Copies of this chain bind each other. A is one copy, B any other.
């Protein structure tokens, strides 16, 4: 999927790349895990150049984005048993369109507040990240070759 024609000219924003770990490519989005052990926190980044608002995608792209939000939400909920899923497209700092899908627990450090700015990020150990990424890849049927 990394070479889907619509991806031509697209590259992951370097700030997102720095703050996240690779999971794989869904049909529309690059899926990354935020490197913050405070919350199981995914980023969906549509591989479409020059998109910063959801409305910058065409109708088919928006429908596919909703499908990928739903599938990653369900995977995250099934894996973590979280109390709530938070979904958000903000983009005030990083302009490249990206959607946060975050597993929230009543016991987490920021609950019930939103996660942004609540506490400093705390990097995953390689073990916790690898386990979560492996479970996500299995549930979302992502092959080895798409670990980008």
Q: Which residues of A contact B (CB under 8 A)?
A: 52-55, 62-63, 65-67, 69-70, 73-74, 77, 84-93, 104, 111-114, 116-117
Contact = CB atoms under 8 A, between A and B. Distances in A.
A92 B84 contact: yes
A104 B52 CA distance: 13
Contacts of A112: 92-93
B92 A89 contact: no
A92 B113 contact: yes
Nearest to A65: B66
Contact of A92 (B52, B67, B86, B116): B86
Given A84-B92, A88-B89, 19 more contacts: A52-B84, A53-B84, A53-B85, A54-B66, A54-B85, A55-B70, A55-B77, A62-B66, A63-B66, A66-B66, A84-B90, A86-B90, A87-B88, A87-B90, A88-B88, A88-B90, A92-B111, A92-B112, A114-B117
